[in-house]
């Protein structure tokens, strides 16, 4: 059975995601001197008395940090991957429900769209910046370097 939505050249999309999480974990270890565990669970919820554990891709209690990793790309035809953007919005929702003591990072693959003249992360910030909670960083990674997209510098 052929899956038309699977990343070209990959074993599976889940495999691509796990590999990207490992790259993020290495970035934090070598560039920020932070050891992150995967997965990392913290209690989240709107109520202080009724919380449920949520599994984040990466995290640490010391220093307190939560990381969600997304290796999404523009569609082959250069269109917005709207279902993937919904997943980014969900990550922002869970960041907003996580304990305040945690730093929060959305760590995404840098994917440039020539037709639009921007990366997927830049598109997200431009169109969905109002959904990004205070204190969340959006970082894009191209395989070598990391660029901070949010907060704007």
Residue 14 is predicted with a pLDDT of 72
Provide the percentage of residues in the chain whose pLDDT is more than 90: 86
Say if 6 falls within a structural domain: no
Provide the percentage of residues in the chain whose pLDDT is more than 70: 91
- Burial class of 47 by CB neighbour count within 10 A (0 to 12, 13 to 18, 19+): exposed
Say if 95 falls within a structural domain: yes
Residue 15 is predicted with a pLDDT of 80
CA–CA gap between residue 66 and residue 96 (Å, rounded): 11
Give per-residue burial for 33-42: e unless 16+ CB within 10 Å, then b. ebebebebeb
Say if 58 falls within a structural domain: yes
Say if 103 falls within a structural domain: yes
Say if 4 falls within a structural domain: no
Residues of the chain scoring pLDDT < 50: 1-6
Say if 69 falls within a structural domain: yes
CATH code (residue 114): 3.40.1350
Say if 146 falls within a structural domain: yes
Number of structural domains, the chain? Answer: 1
Say if 2 falls within a structural domain: no
pLDDT digits (tens, 9 = 90+) for 65-88: 999 999 999 999 999 999 999 999
């Amino acid at each position: 059975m052929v899956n038309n939505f699977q990343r070209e050249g990959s074993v599976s999309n889940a495999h691509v995601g796990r590999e990207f999480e490992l790259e993020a974990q290495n970035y934090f270890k070598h560039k920020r001197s932070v050891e992150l565990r995967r997965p990392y669970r913290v209690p989240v919820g709107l109520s202080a008395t009724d919380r449920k554990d949520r599994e984040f891709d990466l995290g640490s209690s010391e220093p307190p940090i939560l990381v969600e990793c997304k290796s999404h790309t523009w569609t082959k035809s250069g269109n917005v991957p709207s279902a993937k953007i919904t997943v980014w919005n969900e990550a922002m929702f869970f960041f907003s429900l996580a304990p305040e003591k945690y730093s929060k990072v959305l760590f995404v693959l840098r994917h440039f769209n020539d037709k639009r003249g921007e990366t997927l992360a830049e598109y997200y910030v431009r169109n969905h910046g109002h959904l990004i909670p205070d204190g969340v960083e959006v970082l894009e990674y191209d395989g070598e370097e990391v660029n901070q997209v949010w907060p704007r510098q």
